[in-house]
A and B are shown apart, each in its own frame.
Chain A
Amino acid sequence: MSKRESFSCMVLDENLRLTLREVCVVCGVEETHVVKMVEEGIAEPVDPAAGGWEFSGIAVARIRTARRLQRDLHVNLAGAALALDLLDEIGRLGKLHE
């Protein structure tokens, strides 16, 4: 029998705060790429005016999804941003429909 290891995990939710560097590690992207995504409106830092950016877990999940869409579907940043917004809208409509 293999021995069982236990792991705690990081939940990408609204309470989580990650620095720009940490976001890059979690999402596997370069800092410049995150900056471009912020400019495109894909994710917003918690306080955009603050010196060192921090991101919520929700923003991190969006950055990750945008990255995957770019890589797997060959869409550009604007296309990924549009897809993310439409996915949010589908989620919202789905809830209304229940």
Chain B
Amino acid sequence: MKFRDYYEVMGVPRSASDDEIKRAYRRLARKYHPDVSKEPDAEDRFKEVGEAYEVLKDSEKRTAYDELGSRWKEGQEFSPPPQWDFHSQGDQDPRAFSDFFEQLFGQARGAQTSSVSRKGHNRQAEIAITLEEAFSGTTRSLSLEQVEYDKSGRPQRKQRQINVKIPAGVTEGRQIRLAGQGDPGINGGPSGDLFLRVRMMPHRHFKLDGKDVSLELPITPWEAALGTTVRVATLQGDVDLRIPKGSQSGQRLRLKGKGIPGEKPGAQQVILKIVTPAPETQAQEDLYRRMAEIMPMNPRLDNEEQL
């Protein structure tokens, strides 16, 4: 077990006043709140900060912690001294704190005698899924760490594997609720819930916007000018797409119902990108020159009017 320097976590000196600690907590909580923060490790940092505050805001816990404190450094191998005997008063928040916290402060005085039943805490996690999985649904195996209480009220960590069936049609940022899969209830209360937040993994070809997918389709100038039919990949397999005569680069063609499924299924946008071949032979160069003669045009006409 590693020692945790709660002062370092909070970024305050050991001499910090209660007010300074509170201010530091509020600031860090805003910075790392998982609903607000874009920091990649926000969830873990938020928990760390919450745990540090749980100790430093409570004068009894802080005094006990300070008595240990100066002898260890953050991350150092640690076990509680044999004479350690801390029982926290009253209602302890049994959120999943670190083993370090549980060893020092996990033993709540009166927890066993209290008969108030309470729902267990909800748990949050992130689940990264591919576009293909969002399209057709998937079953995922999740490993959950759950806190359970033994007879003396001490929390125990247990690993549990569950399979979660994720239906087709989920999109970025959606929340999925698994009832009763959070922390167990207190004194016979119901278990908390597990909430999974969906994160879509980037795809090598398709881009995602809500339920719509988009795909860039490279075509030649003559395919754009004369019109043609090309094979295009969709999430449901290849389809024939008609490129109308006189198409332009950047033009969007819409394939209805080929996006992420749902009550209102998304569409697939095909964005045309004209790729102009560089002339490599004299004959090719002559061809470009003849095009310039036969069909002169000024594509910057609009720009010039604006200048």
Contacts and interface: CB of A to CB of B under 8 A. Distances in A.
Interface of A: 2, 4-15, 26, 28, 57, 61, 64-65, 68-69, 72-74, 83, 87, 91, 95, 98
B178 interface: yes
Contact of B173 (A72, A83, A91): A91
Given A2-B160, A7-B163, A13 B36 contact: no
Contacts of B193: 26
A91 B167 CA distance: 24
A89 to B, nearest CB: 13
Nearest 4 A/B pairs, CB to CB: A6-B163, A12-B175, A10-B177, A9-B176
Contact of A7 (B159, B162, B175, B262): B162
A73 B29 contact: yes
Given A11-B176, A13-B174, A87-B35, A2 B161 contact: yes
Contact of A26 (B29, B163, B177, B209): B177
A6 B162 contact: yes
Interface residues of B, number: 39
9 contacts: A2-B160, A4-B163, A6-B139, A6-B165, A9-B167, A9-B178, A11-B177, A13-B171, A15-B263
B262 A15 contact: yes
Nearest to B38: A90
Given A4-B141, A7-B162, A98-B207, A28 B122 contact: yes
A68 to B, nearest CB: 6
Contacts of A73: 26, 29-30, 33
Given A9-B177, A13-B262, A98-B207, A69 B165 contact: no
Nearest to A1: B161
Main secondary structure of the interface of A (DSSP, over half): mixed
Contacts of A74: 26
B164 interface: yes
Interface of B: 26, 29-30, 33, 35-36, 46, 119, 122, 139, 141, 159-167, 169-171, 173-179, 181, 193, 195-196, 207, 209, 262-264
Contacts of A6: 139, 162-165
Nearest to A91: B173
Contacts of B209: 95
Contacts of B195: 64
Contacts of B169: 11, 13
B161 A4 contact: yes
Given A12-B177, A91-B173, A69 B160 contact: no
A28 B160 CA distance: 25
Contacts of B35: 65, 68-69, 87
B170 A11 contact: yes
Nearest to B179: A10
Contacts of B165: 6-9
A36 to B, nearest CB: 19
Nearest to A66: B35
Contacts of A2: 159-161
Given A15-B263, A98-B207, 6 more contacts: A9-B164, A9-B196, A10-B178, A15-B262, A65-B35, A87-B35
B162 A5 contact: yes
Nearest to A15: B263
A3 to B, nearest CB: 9
A61 B166 CA distance: 17
